[in-house]
Homo-oligomer: A and B are copies of this chain.
Amino acid sequence: MGDKEHITINQIADEAQVSIATVSRVMNGNTSVSAERRKRVEEVIQKYNFSPNALARGLISKQTMTIGVVLPDISNPYFSSMFLEIERFSLEAGYTLLLCNTLFGGSSHGIRNTRDEAYYFQMLVEKQVDGVLIIGGQVDLVTVDVNYKQALKRLSDQLPVVVIGKEIEDTNCVFIHPETGQGVTLAINYLYMLGHRQIAFVGGQPNVTITDIRVNAYKSALKELGLSVDERLISLSDYYSKDGYSAINTLVSRNVPFTAFLAINDNVAIGSERALQDLSIKVPEEVAFISCDQFENGEFHIPRLTSINQHHDLLGRLVINTLINIIGGNSSPPKFSLAPELVIRESCGTHLGIKR
């Protein structure tokens, strides 16, 4: 049972022989308290290890020092590394985070939630969080569901919301949309430079903005280089290892030759490589690849993954700062540019000495 004792400000006031107003002042660092009383109060607080009830506090102050973070799947390194960065900054600013995994589209574990994002939104409003951060999920769909959009509007009508993703009109969210196509161009150019002319694209859920943008960037880059686009070289699936595995199998079954491919992220790259190995296709000798989104372990992979660092950590920092600023009343327009960086390692078969 949760029936453990709870000290209140009244008991502290009693024992310290002062009014609750004075105790409150001491707790909030108000200067208008005599040294003697302050000391007395502090001692009693110490003695009972008293911590003020944040509910009561929040009821008056209208802030809970809590921020809601809504994302699809924390077990995905993309989200977890960002979350860590977000938490670090929240902590410094005194905020705590309510994490909501919507498991949109299913996680790597195949787990699915029974509740949708609207449910979480409602809950966050009820709990009076000071703001909400939305990182992926339904916002990322190329065409956003009407109900979702409505839920998002309602949420953003009630509290500050920052979302990582492309703008959804008729809502009051602040949208931060990093350029994610640029890196693809970098990658394609690099592969071209190495002599590759048949380059495939592997992984990523169809109809999700990031997939869309990258596929488009892929096509544009190809055209820019005077290469033709063959739709059969595009094999989408999802964002996990198993999806890289299946995507490669699909791709190979189409019998269109390719000498290199772009994987939507490191997980997909790993699954892809596994699939190629099972098909006795040598990597990187026969097929080179680059991942569009760098995760943690890539540099320990065999071969070490050449991939694009999209600076998720910086992005995380950016969004939490933006949100906290908005909560604080400073609506500083989020100015930023996170130029992606091609990290050349071994999965394209060369070192080039460019290593950095």
List the interface of chain A (C-beta within 8 A of B): 1-2, 4-6, 49, 51-56, 58-59, 62-64, 66, 73-75, 77, 80-81, 83-85, 87-88, 91-92, 96-101, 103, 107-109, 111, 113-115, 122-123, 125-128, 130-131, 154, 157-160, 240-242, 244-245, 267, 270-271, 273-274, 277, 296-297, 299-302, 304, 313, 326-327, 329, 331
Option from B83, B103, B127, B158 in Cβ contact (under 8 Å) with A96: B127
Query: Are A126 and B54 in touch, CB under 8 angstroms?
Result: yes
Query: Are B109 and A270 in touch, CB under 8 angstroms?
Result: no
Closest chain B residue, CB of each to CB of A271: B300
Q: How far is the CA of A1 from the CA of B172 in the complex (A)?
A: 12
Closest 6 pairs (CB-CB, A-B): A75-B80, A241-B300, A274-B300, A99-B99, A1-B329, A54-B126
Query: Are A4 and B159 in touch, CB under 8 angstroms?
Result: yes
- Residue among A126, A160, A267 with max Cβ neighbours from chain B (10 Å): A126
A98 contact set on B, CB distance < 8 A: 66, 96-99
Output the least CB separation between A349 and chain B (Å).
16
Q: How far is the CA of A160 from the CA of B125 in the complex (A)?
A: 26
Query: Are A158 and B326 in touch, CB under 8 angstroms?
Result: no
Output the least CB separation between A123 and chain B (Å).
6
Q: How far is the CA of A323 from the CA of B5 in the complex (A)?
A: 18
Query: Are B88 and A84 in touch, CB under 8 angstroms?
Result: no
Q: Given known contacts A84-B101, A127-B66, A302-B277, is B59 in contact with A56 (CB within 8 Å)?
A: yes
Query: Are A63 and B2 in touch, CB under 8 angstroms?
Result: yes
Output the least CB separation between A79 and chain B (Å).
9
Option from B101, B244, B302 in Cβ contact (under 8 Å) with A302: B302
Query: Are B84 and A126 in touch, CB under 8 angstroms?
Result: no
Option from B62, B85, B157 in Cβ contact (under 8 Å) with A111: B85
Option from B51, B74, B107 in Cβ contact (under 8 Å) with A74: B74
Query: Are B59 and A84 in touch, CB under 8 angstroms?
Result: no
A241 contact set on B, CB distance < 8 A: 296-297, 299-300
A108 contact set on B, CB distance < 8 A: 296
Closest chain B residue, CB of each to CB of A77: B75
Query: Are B313 and A6 in touch, CB under 8 angstroms?
Result: no
A59 contact set on B, CB distance < 8 A: 53, 55-56, 59
Query: Are B300 and A242 in touch, CB under 8 angstroms?
Result: yes
Query: Are A74 and B83 in touch, CB under 8 angstroms?
Result: yes
Query: Are B302 and A274 in touch, CB under 8 angstroms?
Result: yes
Query: Are B126 and A52 in touch, CB under 8 angstroms?
Result: yes
A114 contact set on B, CB distance < 8 A: 91-92
Query: Are A75 and B66 in touch, CB under 8 angstroms?
Result: no
Q: How far is the CA of A56 from the CA of B62 in the complex (A)?
A: 11
Query: Are B2 and A327 in touch, CB under 8 angstroms?
Result: yes
Output the least CB separation between A178 and chain B (Å).
19
A240 contact set on B, CB distance < 8 A: 296
- Residue among A88, A130, A242 with max Cβ neighbours from chain B (10 Å): A88
Q: Given known contacts A52-B126, A111-B88, A122-B51, is B62 in contact with A2 (CB within 8 Å)?
A: yes
